[in-house]
Amino acid sequence: MIVAGIEPRAEMVHWMFATGVLVLGLLFIAEAIVGPEVWRRRPWRRYLWPGTVFLLGVLMWPVMALYTNSMIHMVAHGSWAQMLMISGAAELGVAKGKLHSQYWRLTTAAAMVVSGTAFLVHEQNAWFFARAAFLHHALGWTLVVAAVFPLVQAFRPRSVVASTGFAMTFLVIAFFLYCDRDAAPVLGHFSQFAGVPHR
Amino acid sequence: MSADIAHELHGKQKERVATRSLRVRLVLGIGPATAVAGIAWALVQPWRLTLLHPLGQGFWWLFAEPPLYVVLVGVLFRFVLAPGVVEDLEDAE
């Protein structure tokens, strides 16, 4: 109960993760514009986005441990944490030169499919139940569909369409996460069972 | 070298310079565009900034200022990351 009293609301955690995802989106856009050769000219820049992905995975563990409102939430957050860390670690290995195969990018595709599925599975309510439900569905399908971009990158690493689409996906995800509220209407719909809207 | 070939080479070089400057401008524009988006968001939804009406707000409500997060990300990108990327891009070209 003490922890529940001092921890931030779920919507605030979503906004903080949105900021991390926004950072990732900008890094991906910059890399797509200048190309991988220029991007990797400075060693520290190679580790920037894989490190950010790994960090987001690490930070997902406290979310899993503290937001225990249901078992399925814990499973979803735990699976995100694992997949983000696997994806980040694989990309860090590629950046360091310890891993060589371009197919390690498939871990990112897998992370997006697992994360998207977790979003869809752990949202028990219909799309227009409330804004949070709508966004969970939208986020889930966005991630599942957008997994095609890293999938294409694994086989065609120089595809501009894939790298641009991958970058834009993160901006869309950040937008959705920033829109999240614990109890708020979506497009005029708000279930009477969704709680009391605040602020 | 004939005048036609020289003219063609000159045209290609001008085209390459234009492309290069476009990429540089795009990289330099990412941060400001993000910051402007954050400022626009703050103007459209000022109630998302609890710092504007802080009385009675708890720590997390004062800490969570999403439009400011967006502005901060844009500013950091512009002044921390973009200069090095542009420098390397111009070197490469």
Facing residue for A29 by CB, picked from B30, B63, B64: B30
Model pLDDT, residue A196? 67
Low-confidence stretches of chain A (pLDDT < 70) are: 1-5, 186, 189-190, 192-194, 196-199
Tell whether A12 is within 8 A of chain B (Cβ).
yes
- Do residue B64 and residue A12 have CB atoms under 8 angstroms apart? yes
Model pLDDT, residue A174? 95
Percent of chain A with pLDDT over 70: 91
CA angle, corner A11, sides to A7 and B80, nearest 5? 90
The model's pTM: 0.85
Tell whether A178 is within 8 A of chain B (Cβ).
yes
In the structure, what pLDDT confidence band is assigned to residue B12 with cuts at 50, 70 and 90?
Answer: low
Mutate to test the interface with B, among A41, A67, A163 (most CBs of B within 10 A): A41
Q: Residue A106 and residue A99: Cα distance in Å, rounded? A: 13
Model pLDDT, residue A66? 86
Mutate to test the interface with B, among A3, A6, A14, A15 (most CBs of B within 10 A): A15
Model pLDDT, residue A1? 42
Model pLDDT, residue B25? 93
- Do residue A19 and residue B23 have CB atoms under 8 angstroms apart? no
Q: Residue A118 and residue A173: Cα distance in Å, rounded? A: 15
Tell whether A100 is within 8 A of chain B (Cβ).
no
- pLDDT, tens digit, 9 for 90 and up, residues B38-87: 999 999 999 888 888 888 888 888 888 999 999 999 999 999 999 999 99
ipTM score for this prediction: 0.84
Facing residue for B47 by CB, picked from A30, A34, A199: A199
Model pLDDT, residue A2? 44
Q: At what angle do helices A10-34 and B82-92 cross, to 10 degrees?
A: 20
Interface of A with B in 142-161 (CB under 8 A): none
Label residue A2 exposed, middle or buried (CB < 10 Å: 0-12, 13-18, 19+): exposed
CA distances from A40 to A34, A46, A106 (A): 10, 5, 20
